[in-house]
Amino acid sequence: MAIITLTTDFGSTAGYVAQMKAVLLRRSPDSVLVDVTHDVPPQNITAAAIWLADTLPWFPSGSVHLAVIDPGVGTSRKILVGTFECPNQSGINDQHFIVGPDNGLFSLLNIVDAWHLDETAMRTVRDVSNTFHGRDLMAPAAAAIAGGIPLSELGERRIDPVRFTLPKPEHRSDATSGSTEIRGKVLYADSFGNLITNIHTADCPSGHTITDAWIDCPNESAPISVRPVATYGDATPGEMVALTGSGGRVEFAVCNGSAAQRLGLTAYGAEPESLPSVTLRLIGADEP
């Protein structure tokens, strides 16, 4: 029994997701369909790539992951079918399958094999919609993979998929104080209005603790000082804080509120250049 996950930016008020599921159930009736989310910020490939990288490795090996955040639908962009590997909770590498537009959506996954879908072979309806390849091409491909069809029978050729890289945080050490500053960037705002940054716990020196945090918003005259906390329970209602989220990334949030609204940003992400920069100050355990 195969697991097929679905990730889209379709929302829940229209029938698009149900139409994709109908195709999957017709072609792979024994599959278990799991909704990852259908509330990816519209057309936000960066946010989707982060959510996929954070979520997909939790599924069992052999799962098929169908993701449709596809602003280029109907153009010359290709559809990607492939595999990626990731360590499971026991440290053993699992292999998963992916289906989706080749637009950078899978940039943060360790892809080991990738093909461009032969769209003519996947045409299961008389007229493929120019605006809904998720239903007419990608869902049939995901069902075929769940049924054991080799990728080589679905693809035209092996390819290097489109990728993007996240901006890397900048480090600066102060030998006198023993402190380290890490400067990063907000990547997107989630549905709670939390501002998710590109600073990961792996970017922080071992044994160091975040003692100070600032967020530099384009519409503010000066950086805003924000208190670092370990959990939301350490904050007072309405207080803006910095903490590490469940995905290991530092985020800026307002307790019982929205940091995005507080700073005048949309909850579903602004243009990257208009999103705030952030700075963290860390001190080692043996430093004052």
pLDDT digits (tens, 9 = 90+) for 57-103: 999 999 999 999 999 888 889 999 999 999 887 778 999 999 999 99
Report the CATH number of the 3-158 domain: 3.40.50.10790
Label residue 285 by pLDDT band (50, 70, 90).
Answer: low
**Comparison of pLDDT for 25 and 12, the residue scoring more:** 25
Q: Specify which residues 80 forms β-bridges with.
A: 100, 116
**Mean pLDDT calculated for residue range 173-196:** 84
| Fold agreement between 3-158 and 170-284 | no
**Comparison of pLDDT for 96 and 186, the residue scoring more:** 96
CA atoms within 13 A on the CB side of 125: 15
Cβ contact 99:145 at 8 Å: yes
Average pLDDT, the chain: 88
3 state SS for the chain = CCEEEEEECCCCCCCHHHHHHHHHHHHCCCCEEEEEECCCCCCCHHHHHHHHHHHHHHCCCCCEEEEECCCCCCCCCCEEEEEEEEECCCCCEEEEEEEEECCCCCCCCEEEEEEEECCCCCCCCCCCCCCCHHHHHHHHHHHHHHCCCCHHHCEEEECCCCCCCCCCCEEEEECCCCEEEEEEEEEEECCCCCEEEEEEHHHCCCCEEEEEEEEECCCCCCCEEEEECCCHHHCCCCCEEEEECCCCEEEEEECCCCHHHHCCCCCCCCCHHHCCEEEEEEEECCCC
**Comparison of pLDDT for 259 and 175, the residue scoring more:** 259
Q: Where exactly are the structural domains of the chain? A: 3-158, 170-284
Per-residue model confidence (pLDDT) at position 190? 84
**Mean pLDDT calculated for residue range 16-27:** 96
pTM, full prediction: 0.84
284 Cβ neighbours under 8 A, 6+ residues apart: 178, 205, 207, 208
The verdict on domain 170-284 having CATH code 2.40.30.90 is yes
The 10s digit of each residue's pLDDT in 219-235 is 777 899 999 999 999 99
